[in-house]
Amino acid sequence: MEAFSNLMKGIATGKFVYSGELEPHNVCTEVTSVIEWAKTLKGIEEILAANVTDNPQSFTAMSSLAASHIVQEASGLELVYQLRTADRNRMALASDILGAAALGLKNILALTGDHTTMGNTPHCMPVFDLDSAHLVDLVHKMVYEGTDLAGNEVAGPRVEINVGVAGNPNQEPMEIEILKMERKAEVGAEFIQTQVVFDLDIALEYLDALEYIKVPTLIGIFPPRSFGQASFFDKYVSGVTVPKDFLDTFAGFKEIEDKAKRKEKIDEFNIDYFVNFVKEIKKKKACAGCHVMAVGYPDVIEPIIAGVEK
């Protein structure tokens, strides 16, 4: 493996790294707010890169390739280009990888993606020509062998991209999830970023189970700003569960009538909870960092990182 990106270079040094999250708006040509959020993340020294989502939950948004390039150029923050196979066949995927290389993107997160029936265009035809493991294989071949899956040679400058995959510690049974990660590692996955985890015991069990695979893993966290957000993750986000005591705590915050005091208590709870959470996962050999998915919630990101690193 070669480290082409700042994210992978950070991981290679053994430093505990942080990445962030960017989400273009649904059916929108404007990314000004995304750029501003990227600049905020850029100002946090410990955050080495941020993901740009690719039609999350199959809701149509700006091309992640275009958004990644625009935002990276405007903000100076290194981006992780999310690329999913739900919408593209292998030719289109190879084309997008070539485009990413030409545009100076250094990270791809290979995803299968949610089924198209889940989103805002439910009647569109899903593709799934490849799954995420085959996509990793495609990227790996283009980088290290200079060919696509059909053996067509890549002309021009070498493709220099590090490829990661998504993991889900909440998957049951966990053994199936670990076998998926093993398969992705075998075809060239260089890092793992996980789905959101709220339960520390689940995160620790997952990291222990992953250790033999030897792929550096960033555990995903999401500090919610309200009971509604926490409840939404528990009910509607595929593969995520929120512990009852966590939800009960947020339900209690609804009783605080003063909005400023309510926000203060939520911020305090999130900082305390996730500082302790990240400190514990940091002890695990398989854990290379933390993927912080607190989009638009700057009030807690720096305090959480500062609390972990002090």
pLDDT digits (tens, 9 = 90+) for 256-282: 999 999 999 999 999 999 999 999 999
Q: Tell which residue, 187, 188, 192, 239, has the closest CA to residue 211.
A: 192
pLDDT of residue 60: 93
- The pTM (predicted TM-score) of the whole model is 0.95
pLDDT of residue 278: 98
Residue 78 maps to a domain: yes
Q: Tell which residue, 65, 78, 82, 80, has the closest CA to residue 31.
A: 65
Residue 1 maps to a domain: no
Range of the domain at 71: 6-309
φ/ψ of 204, rounded to 5, equals -65, -40
Residue 106 maps to a domain: yes
Distances (CA, A) of 163 to 194, 229, 294: 14, 30, 23
pLDDT of residue 57: 85
Among residues of the chain, what percentage have pLDDT more than 90? 91
Residue 142 maps to a domain: yes
Structurally, the chain folds into a number of domains equal to 1
Q: Tell which residue, 210, 204, 214, 213, has the closest CA to residue 283.
A: 204
Residue 198 maps to a domain: yes
Identify the segments of the chain with pLDDT beneath 50: none
Evaluate the CA torsion angle 125, 126, 130, 135 in order and state its sign: positive
Which CATH number is 139's domain given? 3.20.20.220
Amino acid at 20: G
Q: In the structure encoding, which two tokens stand for residue 263, read together?
A: 């926000």
pLDDT of residue 291: 98
pLDDT of residue 238: 72
Which run of H or of E encompasses 272? helix 259-282
pLDDT of residue 136: 98
pLDDT of residue 239: 75
